[in-house]
Amino acid sequence: MLIAFQSPLGSQVTIHLLYWYRCVYPMSDLLQLQTPCMRYVGSKRRLGRFFIRHIQRALEVYPNGKYIEPFVGGCNMITQVNHHTKIGYDANKYLIALLHEAKNNPDKLRQSTCISRKAYEYVKAHMDEFQAWYVGAMGFLPTYGCIWMGSYMNDKERGRFVKGINGLLKQNLADIHLINSDYRNIPIGKGNVIYCDPPYIIHNYYGIPFNHEEFYDWVRYASRDNIVFVSEYEMPDDFDCIWQMQIRPQINNNGRLRYEKLFIYRP
């Protein structure tokens, strides 16, 4: 994608978006950030601050466009973005209901307490008997690593449930539109900035089958009229890595190091 701007001498300059990204960022240029903190598996809470400037610069290219996250998860990235229109989608309806509750009805959430392992197993097996936000809270907050309907944490660690609720309530969700949808059904439009944080190709903790080849095609298509970023470890060869950082993933990785990367599609 090419971007055009006015040079200091008044002429119109057109450069490739990738070149522009590679030129403009000293590390010291980090923005002042809020402290978003819903614990969430695959959260970009800590990493987001290192690459958010790419997103903010892209929003300068499309100042009237929307900022869209098709995989909003625990909102740990979208809350760090400064923009007038922010929309977060997620295919997990219980998660979106929980985020709505945190946004509109925080007192109700504050009053909820951790349930026993037996009660947790009951909620897990009978989700339709409960309100969606409640299933969301019980499906994420009392589990190891906040993995959706994962293993119930040790009874001694119940304090983490309260911490989870408090973290969720600390987030500023007021200016975010939260919508339950599969990414394939969202209106992409034109002139928007889209940040994708899909399930990693090597492990999917979200209980929703995910076809990565189909996702790559969707990104290629969406990139025709929008600026689209993807967080992943690896992407196909026609994607360019514009940022990377060595990390030690916390779950099931035996301490091995990986590179967390940010990609954009190179047509």
Ligand X SMILES: C[S@@+](CC[C@H](N)C(=O)[O-])C[C@H]1O[C@@H](n2cnc3c(N)ncnc32)[C@H](O)[C@@H]1O
- The H or E element spanning position 231 is strand 227-232
Cα(27)–Cα(22) distance, integer angstroms = 12
Q: How far from chain centre, in Å, is Cα 176?
A: 13
| Nearest residue relative to ligand X (C-beta) | 73
Q: Which C-beta is closer to ligand X: that of 73 or that of 142?
A: 73
**Of residues 3 and 72, the one with the C-beta less far from ligand X:** 72
Which tokens belong to 228?
């689209």
Nearest residue (CB) to ligand X, 75 versus 235: 75
Q: Are 265 and 160 in contact (CB under 8 A)?
A: no
Q: Any bridge partners for residue 192, and if so which? A: none
On whether the CB atoms of residues 155 and 163 are closer than 8 A, the answer is no
Using the minimum distance from each CB to ligand X, give the nearer residue, 3 or 54.
Answer: 54
Minimum CB separation of residue 173 from ligand X in Å reads 12
State in angstroms the smallest separation of the CB of 96 from ligand X.
9
Please answer whether residues 230 and 219 qualify as being in contact, where contact means their C-beta atoms are separated by less than 8 angstroms.
yes
Nearer to ligand X, 142 or 199 (CB): 199
Q: How far is the CB of 171 from ligand X (least distance, A)?
A: 10
C-alpha separations of 154 from 115, 120, 144, 145, 229 in Å:
12, 12, 9, 12, 37
Closest distance of CB 59 from ligand X, Å = 17
For the bound state, the minimum distance from the C-beta of residue 192 to ligand X, rounded and expressed in Å, comes to 16
Q: Which residues bind ligand X (CB under 6 A)?
A: 40, 42-44, 70-71, 73-77, 89-92, 95, 182-183, 197-199, 206, 208, 210
